[in-house]
C-alpha cells in the first residue's frame, strides 16, 4: 500500500455480490488501498447485503417505489444521503439493476463507476453474454465505465477481453466474463486511490 489516503467506497448492487467479494479480497490482500464503508441495495434479499455486513460495511436497503428501471429523485436523495454520511469518495455500481439520474450524478461527478459484462459500446443492457453469442462474436469481455444518465453509455475507463469458446452457453461465457470483472474492477478502483 502506498502512503496515500484510503479511498472510502460505497457499493450499490441488486444481486449476488461476487464483484463486492473481489473488491473485499483485494482490500484484504493489500492490493487496494480502500475501505468498504457502505453497501446499499434496492433488493432486501440480495446476497450483496450479507457480504457487506461480513466485511464490516454499513448496509442499507433503499426500496424505490417502482420495481425496476430509473430511480426517482426522492430515492436518489436517500442513496446520496447515506453515501454522504459515510464520506464516500467513490461509488461503485456492481450489478445494480437501476438507472441513476441527475441528483445522484450531480452529487458524485466522475465518481460513480459501473462494471458491465461486454466490450462496450457493444451489447448494452441485460443478458450481454447471450447478446455476444447471438451476434457470433469470437471475443467479448467486460468494461468499467463512468456512469451517466444512459444505460451503459458512460465514458469507458478500462476493458478486458474474454475469448468466446466453441460450445459456450450464455452461462459458461458469463462465468468467465465475471472472472475477468473480478480482476478488472479492483484494479480500476486502485487507480482512483492512486490518483486521489
Ligand atoms: C456483473 O456481471 C456485472 O457486470 C453486471 O451485473 C453482474 C453483477 O454480478 N452489471 P455480481 O452481483 O457482482 O456477482
In this structure, what C-alpha cell is assigned to residue 33? 488501498
Predicted local distance difference test score (pLDDT) of residue 63: 86
- Please work out whether the CB of residue 93 comes within 6 Å of at least one atom of ligand 1: no
The pLDDT value given to residue 2: 44
**What is the rounded distance in angstroms from the CA atom of residue 69 to the CA atom of residue 112?**
18
CB-based contacts of 116, cutoff 8 Å, min separation 6: 124, 128, 142, 143, 144, 145, 152
Q: Which atom of ligand 1 is nearest to the CA of 17?
A: 12
What per-residue confidence (pLDDT) applies to 1?
40
| The pLDDT of residue 196 | 64
Digits of tens for pLDDT over the chain (196 positions)? 445 679 999 999 999 999 999 999 999 999 999 999 999 999 999 999 999 999 999 999 998 777 778 888 899 999 999 999 999 999 999 999 999 999 999 999 999 999 999 999 999 999 999 999 999 999 999 999 999 999 999 999 999 999 999 999 999 999 999 999 999 999 999 999 887 6
Show Cβ contacts of residue 63 under 8 Å, excluding neighbours closer than 6 positions.
42, 44
Torsion (CA) 4, 38, 158, 154 in degrees, nearest 10: -120
Kindly compute the dihedral angle of the four CA atoms of residues 4, 6, 12, 14, in this order, to the nearest 10 degrees.
Answer: 110
Residues 6+ apart with CB under 8 A from 30: 1
Please report the pLDDT score of residue 4 as a whole number.
63
Q: Which atom of ligand 1 is nearest to the CA of 174?
A: 2
Contact 194, 2 (CB under 8 A): yes
Backbone angles phi, psi at 145, to 5 degrees: -140, 160
Cα Rg for the chain, rounded, in angstroms? Answer: 16
Report the residue among 115, 171, 188 best suited for mutation to probe ligand 1: largest number of ligand atoms under 8 A from its CB. Answer: 115
Express each pLDDT in 45-80 by its tens digit. 999 999 999 999 999 999 877 777 888 889 999 999
Amino acid at each position: 500500500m502506498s502512503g496515500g489516503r484510503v479511498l472510502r467506497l460505497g457499493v450499490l448492487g441488486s444481486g449476488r455480490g461476487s464483484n463486492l467479494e473481489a473488491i473485499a479480497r483485494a482490500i484484504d490482500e493489500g492490493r487496494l488501498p480502500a475501505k468498504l464503508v457502505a453497501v446499499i441495495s434496492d433488493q432486501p434479499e440480495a446476497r450483496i447485503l450479507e457480504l457487506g455486513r461480513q466485511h464490516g460495511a454499513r448496509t442499507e436497503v433503499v426500496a424505490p417505489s417502482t420495481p425496476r428501471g430509473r430511480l426517482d429523485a426522492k430515492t436518489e436523495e436517500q442513496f446520496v444521503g447515506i453515501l454522504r454520511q459515510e464520506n464516500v469518495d467513490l461509488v461503485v455500481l456492481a450489478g445494480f439493476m437501476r438507472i441513476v439520474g441527475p441528483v445522484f450524478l450531480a452529487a458524485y461527478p466522475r465518481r460513480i463507476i459501473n462494471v458491465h459484462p461486454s466490450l462496450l459500446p457493444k451489447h448494452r443492457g441485460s443478458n450481454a453474454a447471450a447478446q455476444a453469442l447471438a451476434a457470433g462474436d469470437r471475443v467479448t469481455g467486460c468494461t468499467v465505465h463512468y456512469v451517466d444518465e444512459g444505460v451503459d453509455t458512460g465514458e469507458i475507463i478500462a476493458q478486458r477481453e474474454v475469448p468466446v469458446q466453441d460450445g459456450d452457453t450464455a452461462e459458461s461465457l458469463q462465468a468467465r466474463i465475471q472472472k475477468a470483472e473480478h480482476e478488472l474492477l479492483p484494479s480500476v478502483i486502485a487507480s482512483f486511490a492512486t490518483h486521489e
